[in-house]
Amino acid sequence: MGNLIKVLGKDLENCPHFFLDFENAQPTEAETAVWNQVSAVLEEAHGILAELQSYNGAGQEIREAIQNPNDLQLQEKAWNAVCPLVAKLKRFYEFSLRLENALRSLLEALTSPPYAPMQHLEREQALAKQFAEILHFTLSFDELKMTNPAIQNDFSYYRRTISRNRLNNQQLEAENEVNNEMANRMSLFYAEATPMLKTLSNATTKFVSENKTLPIEDTTDCLSTMACVCRVMLETPEYRCRFTNTDTMLFCMRVMVGVIILYDHVHPVGAFAKTSKIDMKGCIKVLKEQPSNSVEGLLNALRYTTRHLNDDSTSKQIRALLQ
């Protein structure tokens, strides 16, 4: 990810003077238990993304089966093509649940007393890095999912076939793999434009609501600080020139957008209000200045997965920037 990025307090209205090492941070003894738990989940993330990237779907087999409803051989061929794909979609969904638990563990560690969130981020660099990696994975997954209509098509065909054969009293072995209850949960998950982000947003909101003794500012300050740090890394040539490759730029952009969306879901007035601790104009401008092909997907995430963009408290200037 490049060299240590030094973030100077004078550059950040709401952020302290400290390093965020997104490459080399190693867990201290105090971080080890949570780090090991989250690390086990993150180890799966690369494989999940690789599987999703190579997901081609069973479009041809499904079309042939639909066009020839009386050809049992084509029906069987389509079914045999779809079943392993649905098993793969189930693995993706189950991974989202593990990712949710990992996020919760990180939120607990990065907001717990006696330290303030900013102190946590400075002291617990390895956990901050893992938090960033979860957000990077989440937006990467959702970008791939949004550009692959085969996922919805395959799953819809699977559900229709299950329903039809249940009515015909036929027993299907694959229903044990993805039964009706699991299929319902998966259907809700994949119906979302950005399912992983929705999962994390819900998890963050739930974390705040369940921890009533923890001031909500502890969570939102953690998120706004990370957004500030990423923005400064991206917009400051002195910091940007230390990046060794373009992956670091995209990593920072995804993390920045991810924490903005979580902040907007958790904070009562959201990320776009004048009282927000996130410089939304600066964040949007720095995104638009980047040459990456993924920028439009990140802007769409801000447009369509935030809660407060269309509130009256959002300035016309910010709305215009996101048009």
Q: What is the DSSP string of 139-206?
A: HHHHHHHHT-THHHHHHHHHHHHHHHHHHTT---GGGGTS-HHHHHHHHHHHHSSSHHHHHHHHHHHH
Picking from 157, 191, 225, the residue at the C-terminal end of a domain is 191
**pLDDT (tens digit, 0 to 9) for every residue of the chain, 323 residues total?**
333 334 434 344 444 434 466 777 889 899 999 999 999 999 999 999 999 999 999 999 999 999 999 999 999 999 999 999 999 999 999 999 999 999 999 999 998 888 887 788 888 889 999 999 999 999 999 989 999 999 999 999 999 888 776 545 444 554 456 888 898 999 999 999 889 999 999 999 899 888 888 888 888 988 998 898 888 888 877 777 777 766 888 888 989 999 999 999 989 899 999 889 999 999 999 999 887 777 888 898 899 889 899 888 888 899 998 88
Instruction: Check residue 267 and report its DSSP letter.
Output: S
> How many folded domains does the chain comprise?
2
Q: How is residue 262 written in tokens? A: 């979580």
pTM of the predicted protein model: 0.86
Q: Report whether 227 contacts 278 (CB < 8 A).
A: yes
Q: Are residues 256 and 171 in the same domain?
A: no
Please give the residue range of the domain that contains residue 35.
Answer: 18-191
Q: Are residues 143 and 243 in the same domain?
A: no
Torsion over CA: 209, 96, 226, 115 (sign)? positive
What pLDDT is recorded for position 52?
97
Q: What angle do CA 256, 304, 184 make, to 5 degrees?
A: 105
Residue 8 falls within a domain, yes or no? Answer: no
Per the listing, tokens 């973030």 go with 7
Picking from 135, 160, 191, the residue at the C-terminal end of a domain is 191
Residue 204 falls within a domain, yes or no? Answer: no
Picking from 159, 191, 223, the residue at the C-terminal end of a domain is 191
Residue 99 falls within a domain, yes or no? Answer: yes
Residue 223 falls within a domain, yes or no? Answer: yes
Q: Are residues 187 and 222 in the same domain?
A: no
Hey, what long-range contacts does 313-319 have (CB within 8 A, 24 or more apart)?
Answer: 313/269, 313/270, 313/272, 313/273, 313/274, 314/272, 314/273, 315/272, 315/274, 317/281, 318/272, 318/280, 318/281, 318/284
Residue 284 falls within a domain, yes or no? Answer: yes
Q: Are residues 48 and 146 in the same domain?
A: yes
Q: Are residues 219 and 187 in the same domain?
A: no
Q: Are residues 150 and 226 in the same domain?
A: no
- Phi/psi region, residue 166 (left: phi>0; alpha: psi -120 to 50; beta: rest), is alpha
